[in-house]
Structures are given as structure tokens and as C-alpha cells.
Structure 1
Amino acid sequence: MPYRLTAAFRVLIALAAATGIVLECVEGSPLVIFSFFTVWSNTAVAVVLGLGAVRAWRREPPLPALWTGGVVLCITVVGLVFHLVLDNASSEFNAADAIARLTGARAVANQLLHTVTPIGVLIDWLLLTRPAALQWRHAAQWLAAPAAYFAFALTRGALVSPDTPTRYPYPFLDVPAHGYPGVLVNALVLGLASYGLGLALVTADRFRPAVGGRENRISSLGAGGLK
């Protein structure tokens, strides 16, 4: 894909993430909105894909794979947890009824943040970046983001008033419902799943073909300079 189309696609994905966040903030309290890992991850998408678009347009070397691969992992986790856990009526932690009641701007933001951006980032990674940029060590390093969020969520929940809305943003992090041991088990399961997904991404990156030919992948999100 020509570099200008690559830049344009990345701008669209960055705008989708930013638009979803803005809509959420307009409809609710920014302090509450930014307590969600979804918003953390989409903020990273907006920044990293935006910078990736600028570099593609200028035909400059790409951002480090540690950053961009981490964005792929985090936003993929967001999409999977939302669709397989939170919006799944058969899940122990489902919030399907609350999700179904979303309307207007909130419903649009929900789709942008949980569906559009994960799919868009994966398409960008698969079709607009060169393979074999990710390293095995990245899978462990990427866990710093969900670990930081976990610490933040528990600290916030312990400090705010018990009647604060979304005291614990996700049902699997709800300490009053599961206790600290239960929440730690849930976090460990999600962490191991995230690590496994990270290893899967690195493996796929080693074997996936250079779709469209190497000459079209002008500004990849991989590591190092142009290859």
C-alpha cells in the first residue's frame, strides 16, 4: 500500500480511538472514564497510530516495536475481554444487560473503543507493517501495562468511597464481590492469557508473509529503521 494510504489509514484508526474517548468524556466524568483499561489502551492507540501516520507520511523510520507491539497486544486484549467476557451472557463476569442499554453517543463510543480500534490496529499490523520485528522478550515486557493498570485499579478502589460509581471498573476486579484473593486469581489468569497472546503475536510475526510486497511497506510499526 502506498505510504500516503498507509498514513491515512492510521489517521482514521487514531481518530476512531480519540473520538470514542471524547464521546465518553462528554457523556460522563473524565475521572471515571480514564479509570478503564479500555480508555488507557485507546489513548495509546491514538498516540502511537497518530505518530505512525506522521512517520509514514514523511517516510521516516518507524517507532520501536516494543511500543507498537504493546499497543497491538493491549487493544487486542480490550476487544477480546469485551466480546468474550463482558458482552457474553454466559460469562461469569458479563455486563451484557448494561451494555445493551447503551444508546446514542455512548453506544457509538462503545463500538469505536471495543470493536473498531481493535480490528483497525490488527489490520494495520497484519497488512501495513513488515514481519519479524517483534522479539520474544517483548511478550514479558508488554505485561508492564496491564500490571500497572491492575495496581492502579486496586489502589483507586481502596481509596475512593464505597458508593463511588465504578469503584472497581471491571467485575473481575471487584474486591467486595470476590475478595483480594479472588481478584488476584482473576488478574493472574488474565495476565497469563495476555502473556500467551503476546507470545502468539511474536510467533505470528515471525511467520506471517509480507502482504502486498516489501516495497509497499514504507513505514512499518516494527523495530529499527526501514528494512
Structure 2
Amino acid sequence: MQRSETWATGWSIARIAAATMIAVAVIAQFASSVAGAVDAGRDVATVVANFFSFFTILSNVSAAVVLLIVGLRFFVRGRPLGPEPVALATALAWVSTYMLVTGVVYNLLLRGIPLQPETVPWSNEILHVWGPLFLLLDLFLGPCRRRLGWRAALGAAIFPVAWIVYTLLRAPLITNPTTGAPYWYPYPFLDPNTDGWGSVVVYVIVIAVVIVGFAVGAVAVGRWRGIRSS
């Protein structure tokens, strides 16, 4: 199926459309967050920095960029049906992992938490449900998949680990622009002030295992479906 030019053309258009959908959702939420900060007299610079400190936002922005590049490359390069370049195939496997983790973590741990007044409901669903679902479908249906080495799965953990370190180091230095608390954590399960550091460590370990597990799965599917480079 992935060597059919008709299928590859249609799915490349779908990738561009999905990238556009995700980008529109991010922009809409960003505009709402900034507008809410202005109306409430909060520090806008802090709100903007916090916005781009959410794993959800970073994973969605990364996914939109990679999907757009992969989709446009298909047409710019004259509709090639050979395997994607290693760097691009690796990036696609990684953002697929991050988006799947975003969807699973949100729907298992955060779905029941009331939305903030600035949250755009339809944007929230795209970023946490429909975007991850498209990346899941892309994993099984996307054309021109390359067979990657297993090291690509381990490499997927680099960004989440760096994000966790950044989050835990930055959080105590930031005043929460909404509550005035002398700290700001993007997600309650990373906040040691809630249930202590023991709970945070457990969540970090579980999420790390999930990320590596999903990355191994993404690479495994790619190896099963992938085109052998000549």
C-alpha cells in the first residue's frame, strides 16, 4: 500500500492538513492564553514562557513541523516512493511517540481536571485527542516508511528527559501568574507540593518507561512496514 502513488499522494495531503489543523489549534490556544493574561493583569512574558513549557504544546508544535515537512517533501521531490531520509524518518518516529504519550497521559491522568477559563475546548481536543490519533494512524498507514535501527527508540527519550529536568529546575523559580504561588508546574503530577517528591519520582519513572515503550513500538511498526533502503 505504501508504494502506491495514489495512496502516497492522498496521505501526504492528509499530513499537510493535519499539520495545519494542529498549528491552528496551538495558535488559537496561544491567543486565548495571552488575551486572558492581559485581561487579568498577569505577567504576559511569564504566561508566554509557561505556554511553551507544556509538553503538550512542544510535542504538537514538533509534530506539526515534521508532518508539514514530510508532506511537502513528497510533492517538492516529485512524489518519490522510496524510503524517507534517516533524519526525517527518525523525527517522524519521535514526534509520533511524543504525541501518543501526550494523548495517553492526558486522557488517563488529566481528563477529569476542570479546564481553565482561557482554555479553548476544541483546540484542547485537537491537541490531546485528534492530533495523537492522526499520528497513530500515520504510523500504520503513512507511505514511504524507512526501517530504522533500534537506537532510534532510545534517542526518543532525550527530549522528554531534558524537558523534565528543565521543568523541575525552572518551576521553583517561577511565580504562578494565576495563583501567586512561588512556583509553577505545568502538570499537577510533577508538583512535589501536592503529594511529595516520592509521587513525582514514581510518575517520572512511569512516564519514562511509557515513552521508551512507545518509541520501541513506533520503531517496530516502522521496521515491519518500512522500505529497505537500497
1:152, 1:129 → 2: CA distance? 35
Name the residue aligned to 2:67: 49
Deviates more, 1:54-63 or 1:118-127: 54-63
Name the residue aligned to 2:94: 70
Seen in structure 2, the aligned counterparts of structure 1 residues 46 and 131 have a Cα distance that, compared at 3 Å, is closer
CA contact 2:84–2:145 (8 Å) conserved in 1? no
CA contact 1:131–1:207 (8 Å) conserved in 2? no
Seen in structure 2, the aligned counterparts of structure 1 residues 83 and 23 have a Cα distance that, compared at 3 Å, is same
CA contact 1:6–1:56 (8 Å) conserved in 2? no
CA contact 1:55–1:62 (8 Å) conserved in 2? no
Name the residue aligned to 1:39: 57
Question: Letter of the aligned partner of 1:183 in structure 2?
Answer: V
Provide Cα deviations, 1:64-101, integer angstroms capped at 9, x if missing partner: 222110011000100111112211xxxxxxxx1414x7
Alignment of 1:71-110 (within 5 A): 71-87=95-111, 96-99=112-115, 106-110=120-124
Q: TM-score with structure 1 length normalisation?
A: 0.79
Alignment of 1:99-138 (within 5 A): 99=115, 106-130=120-144, 133-138=147-152
Question: Letter of the aligned partner of 1:71 in structure 2?
Answer: V
Name the residue aligned to 1:11: 16
Deviation at 1:165, TM superposition (A): 9.6
Question: Letter of the aligned partner of 2:194 in structure 1?
Answer: A
Seen in structure 2, the aligned counterparts of structure 1 residues 158 and 102 have a Cα distance that, compared at 3 Å, is closer
Q: TM-score with structure 2 length normalisation?
A: 0.78
Question: Letter of the aligned partner of 1:186 in structure 2?
Answer: Y
Question: Letter of the aligned partner of 1:149 in structure 2?
Answer: W
Name the residue aligned to 1:153: 167
Q: Across the two proteins, how many residue pairs are aligned to each other?
A: 203
The percentage of aligned residue pairs carrying the same residue is: 28
Name the residue aligned to 1:214: none
1:166, 1:45 → 2: CA distance? 29
Q: RMSD across aligned C-alpha pairs, in angstroms?
A: 2.6
Name the residue aligned to 1:207: 224
Deviation at 1:23, TM superposition (A): 0.9
For structure 1, the 5+ residue unaligned runs are 88-95, 211-221
Name the residue aligned to 1:179: 196
Deviation at 1:37, TM superposition (A): 0.2
Deviation at 1:7, TM superposition (A): 2.4
2:69, 2:223 → 1: CA distance? 24
